[in-house]
């Protein structure tokens, strides 16, 4: 599918969402819309695998026969279905019974079947509890098909679902919907819903342009084509992964087989479910990723709390866009936590450094971490100054990148990217001030591909450029009290043009003489005409 067709599909689906949600909150309707798109993906993927498994036994139906081919096969081969499902679990890792496939559900919607709601709920329950391994339990837990937002009673809710699903099915029929296309459509809709969610958008979405910078930075060391070795990351970790778009951006950079394991953590249950669906929709197998539902700051994931250094998980790349200046209530026990013990706790008013230290703790010795944070972390005092100073003295802060304002849906403030390494070689910090490199938009400013490439290229080769990038020695940073305010080191202000006072004085004297000469000549004409003369110019 071409880029234009992908955009048309996204616009078609968004148009359906915008038209049909009615009075429903956009965040609520998002969950229905994306879940139905996910069911379509699961069904397509499963039916394609079933067709391959059954070969010539796969039913060939006429164009007018609206039955699901698998339903026909199940009815004709009741004794073979158990063995067939066993094979499908082995090959695709899941099973969807014929009545729960998207084609069957869409046909019920087309005919306004009164049992659609019941069938859809049973289908969701089946996928959660019987179709997948326990890893996928609760995948549709936030989709309430009995919500009053869909209708006041069963009949009204069923009719609303029929309308929504019928519209989605008809919209998708106009396009080739392979796996990549559905994944792109899913990502597009997440972005569109984020645009309409205001401050809530920050909970689940990192704009693609910023994701591209972070993913570009953490994958650079893994991409060495000159060696002839295929680029590879053993693991990548996002501890505040939202809908998973940042992790998927890293995977896109590395290629489908370029990452051994994708690991994410998310506190919000709805967003956690979106992330798991997003992974599958982009063709990431359930064995290739692990998303955990839990509080990062409390380190609720037992697997991460391993105290044996030899067994403690570490990652090649860590990326994150955590909540900005999140208020938290750290307990006294957290002061002894392995993540914070050497640095101290971040203040209650802003957990920015708590998030940073969490990710940094799980970074490999030769790994790279890129995290988006508000500018306050660069210069605020107190506990944050102590943490920042230790990171700098230990040589862990590699690069500070300042981005333009108004790039996010959730806030208009400018943000920065901190790049951290445990084994940093240069004894300086690279500052990149990209605050004025953007294209102004109606609602949000945009980073164009050229802006993104310039940032990554400057980072990779540690280039210096007037009013854009500079390598600053640790001695200078120390002299500035370990303050990392970007404008202190790289000012974007244009220097005023130097004025040559002697030249200006000479020019003024010459002008005076010209005026005096012109006045005398003019007065000569006035005398001949008998008119009053012009006074001479008095000078100090």
The domains of the chain are located at 3-196, 200-423, 497-540
**What CATH superfamily is the domain 200-423?**
Vaccinia Virus protein VP39 (3.40.50.150)
pLDDT in tens, 464-493: 999 999 999 999 999 999 999 999 999 876
Give the pLDDT band (50/70/90) at residue 222. low
Contact 238, 318 (CB under 8 A): yes
Q: What percent of the chain has pLDDT over 90?
A: 58
> Beta strands 428-433 and 397-402: pairing type?
parallel
- Counting every residue written for the chain, the total comes to 540
Give the pLDDT band (50/70/90) at residue 315. very high
Q: Is the dihedral of CA 486, 490, 496, 501 positive or negative?
A: positive
Non-local CB neighbours of 327 within 8 Å, separated by 6+ positions = 348, 349, 350, 351
Give the Å distances, CA to CA, from 475 to 398, 402, 406, 424, 482. Answer: 15, 21, 33, 16, 10
Contact 88, 54 (CB under 8 A): no
Mean pLDDT lowest among 23-27, 217-221, 428-432: 23-27
pLDDT in tens, 343-374: 999 999 999 999 999 999 999 999 999 999 99
Q: Name the DSSP class of 118.
A: H
Helices (H), 21-78: 26-54, 69-76
Neighbouring C-beta atoms of residue 8, cutoff 10 Å: 14
Residue 362 corresponds to which tokens in the numbers above? 């799980």
Helices (H), 256-311: 269-281
Residue 438 has pLDDT above 70, yes or no: yes
With CA atoms as reference, report the closest residue to 368 among 391, 401, 399: 399
| H-run or E-run covering 398 | strand 397-402
With CA atoms as reference, report the closest residue to 340 among 332, 382, 393: 332
Residue 62 corresponds to which tokens in the numbers above? 């006429």
Residue 199 has pLDDT above 80, yes or no: no
pLDDT in tens, 144-185: 999 998 999 999 999 999 999 999 999 888 776 666 677 778
Give the long-range contacts of residues 142-146, CB within 8 A, separation 24 or more: 142/31, 142/269, 142/270, 142/273, 143/31, 143/32, 143/35, 145/117, 145/120, 145/121, 146/117
pLDDT in tens, 65-79: 888 899 999 999 999
What is the third-level CATH fold of 3-196? Ferritin (1.20.1260)
Contact 452, 446 (CB under 8 A): no
Non-local CB neighbours of 112 within 8 Å, separated by 6+ positions = 159, 162
CA-based end-to-end distance of the chain: 80
Query: Which pLDDT value is given to residue 369?
Result: 98
Average pLDDT, the chain: 88
Helix, strand, coil content of the chain in percent (nearest 5): 50, 10, 40
Neighbouring C-beta atoms of residue 183, cutoff 10 Å: 20
| H-run or E-run covering 109 | helix 102-110
Gap between the Cα atoms of 274 and 505, Å rounded: 71
The three-class DSSP label of residue 366 is strand
């Amino acid at each position: 599918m071409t880029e234009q067709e992908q955009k048309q599909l996204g616009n078609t689906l968004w148009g359906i969402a915008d038209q049909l949600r009615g009075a429903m909150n956009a965040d609520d309707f998002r969950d229905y819309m994306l879940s139905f798109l996910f069911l379509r993906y699961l069904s397509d993927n499963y039916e394609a695998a079933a067709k391959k498994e059954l070969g010539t036994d796969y039913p060939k139906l006429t164009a007018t026969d609206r039955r699901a081919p698998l339903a026909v096969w199940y009815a004709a081969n009741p004794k073979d279905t158990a063995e067939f499902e066993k094979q499908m679990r082995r090959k695709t890792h899941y099973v969807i019974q014929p009545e729960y496939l998207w084609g069957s559900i869409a046909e019920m919607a087309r005919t306004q079947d009164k049992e659609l709601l019941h069938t859809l709920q049973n289908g969701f329950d089946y996928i959660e509890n019987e179709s997948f391994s326990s890893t996928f339990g609760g995948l549709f837990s936030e989709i309430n098909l009995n919500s009053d937002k869909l209708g006041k009673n069963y009949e009204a809710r069923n009719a609303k679902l029929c309308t929504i699903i019928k519209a989605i099915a008809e919209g998708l029929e106009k396009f080739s919907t392979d796996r990549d296309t559905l994944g792109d459509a899913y990502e597009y809709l997440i972005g569109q819903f984020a645009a309409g969610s205001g401050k809530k958008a920050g909970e689940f979405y990192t704009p693609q342009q910023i994701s591209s910078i972070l993913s570009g930075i953490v994958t650079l060391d893994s991409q060495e084509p000159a060696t002839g070795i295929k680029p590879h990351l053993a693991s990548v970790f996002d501890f505040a992964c939202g809908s998973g778009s940042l992790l998927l951006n890293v995977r896109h950079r590395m290629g489908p087989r370029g990452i051994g394991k994708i690991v994410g953590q998310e506190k919000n249950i709805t967003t956690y479910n979106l992330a798991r669906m997003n992974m599958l929709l982009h063709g990431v197998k359930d064995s290739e990723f692990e998303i955990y539902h839990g509080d990062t700051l409390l380190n609720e994931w037992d697997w991460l709390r391993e105290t044996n250094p030899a067994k403690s998980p570490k990652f090649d790349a860590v990326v994150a866009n955590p909540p900005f200046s999140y208020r938290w209530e750290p307990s006294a026990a957290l002061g002894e936590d392995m993540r914070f013990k050497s640095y101290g706790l971040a203040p209650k008013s802003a957990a920015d450094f708590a998030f940073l230290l969490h990710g940094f703790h799980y970074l490999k010795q030769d790994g790279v971490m890129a995290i988006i944070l508000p500018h306050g972390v660069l210069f605020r005092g107190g506990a944050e100054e102590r943490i920042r100073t230790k990171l700098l003295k230990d040589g862990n802060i590699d690069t500070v990148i300042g981005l333009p304002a108004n790039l996010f849906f959730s806030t208009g403030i400018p943000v920065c990217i901190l790049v951290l390494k445990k084994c940093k070689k240069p004894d300086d910090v690279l500052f990149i001030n990209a605050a004025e490199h953007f294209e102004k938009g109606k609602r949000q400013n945009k980073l164009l591909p050229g802006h993104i490439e310039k940032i990554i290229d400057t980072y990779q080769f540690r280039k210096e450029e007037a009013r854009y990038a500079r390598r600053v020695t640790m001695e200078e940073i120390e002299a500035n009290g370990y303050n990392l305010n970007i404008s202190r080191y790289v000012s974007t202000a244009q220097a005023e043009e130097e004025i040559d006072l002697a030249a200006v004085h000479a020019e003024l004297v010459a002008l005076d003489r010209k005026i005096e000469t012109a006045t005398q000549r003019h007065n000569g004409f006035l005398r001949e005409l008998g008119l009053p003369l012009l006074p001479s110019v008095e000078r100090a």
